[in-house]
Homo-oligomer: A and B are copies of this chain.
Amino acid sequence: MSPKRVDKEVRKKEILHAAMHAMARKGVNVIKIDQIAAAAGIGKGTIYEYFSSKEEIFGAAMAQFLEKIENIQAKKLFRATTPQEKIKAIIDSWVEATNTMAHDDLKLLIDLWAEGIRQSNPELKKIFDMKKIYYEYREIVSAIIRDGINAGVFRDVEVEVVSGIFLASVDGLMIQWLLDKESVDIRKTANTLYDTFMQGIALQRESGNL
């Protein structure tokens, strides 16, 4: 691989980085190629040396964004061993994301959902398929919960359903935080989410009052 090649790769990453920021801040449908170019500190035409269309940039930015998020989660999950720790790790991934990434950057999630929901561009499905991603997310959490049930830590809940609910809480909290940073005390919320969810699926001595 020649140094030129490396340079090209590096430059492409730089553009992608700038594009992701810009898209996240203004919204994918609103951002203009000029703005991405300006944000990347390059000429408008140069972008087309690295990407063939705005759509492709969008796809690449989304993929990169997802990768970032998944990296955070993978890192956290990697260290966790017990089901409880793993649940905690997923919640902490959310905390970490809000710490590591800029508030603006995380707004890209909305566009990711929008794209997944409307699938306006079938091409993008090849790069990232939100339906599939969520299916896999639920599988991961399901495995964790199943482990907990088998270990006698969690009660015998509908695993797939509970997994969806758990992931839903995190997504929903992200929305509230994106809508209003100040309205969500991340640390406190993370702890409470962990506590209530754990208690929610905990084995019960006596069947309660519900």
Contact = CB atoms under 8 A, between A and B. Distances in A.
Interface in A154-191: 157-158, 161-162, 164-165, 167-173, 175-176, 178-180, 183-185, 188-189
A80 interface: no
A208 B199 contact: yes
A171 B175 contact: yes
B196 A201 contact: yes
Given A135-B180, A172-B168, A208-B199, A192 B162 contact: yes
Contacts of A111: 114
Contact of A210 (B84, B173, B176): B84
A28 B26 CA distance: 14
B131 A179 contact: yes
A117 interface: yes
Contacts of A199: 199-202, 204, 208, 210
A30 interface: yes
A177 to B, nearest CB: 9
A193 interface: yes
A118 B15 CA distance: 22
A204 to B, nearest CB: 7
A110 interface: yes
A161 B185 contact: yes
Contact of A117 (B29, B107, B189): B107
A113 interface: yes
A171 B109 CA distance: 14
A89 to B, nearest CB: 15
Interface of A: 25-27, 29-30, 84, 107, 110-111, 113-114, 116-118, 120, 130-131, 134-135, 138, 153, 157-158, 161-162, 164-165, 167-173, 175-176, 178-180, 183-185, 188-189, 192-193, 195-206, 208-210
5 contacts: A30-B118, A134-B183, A153-B209, A195-B210, A199-B210
The 3 A-B pairs with the shortest beta carbon distances in the complex, nearest first, are A168-B172, A200-B200, A29-B29
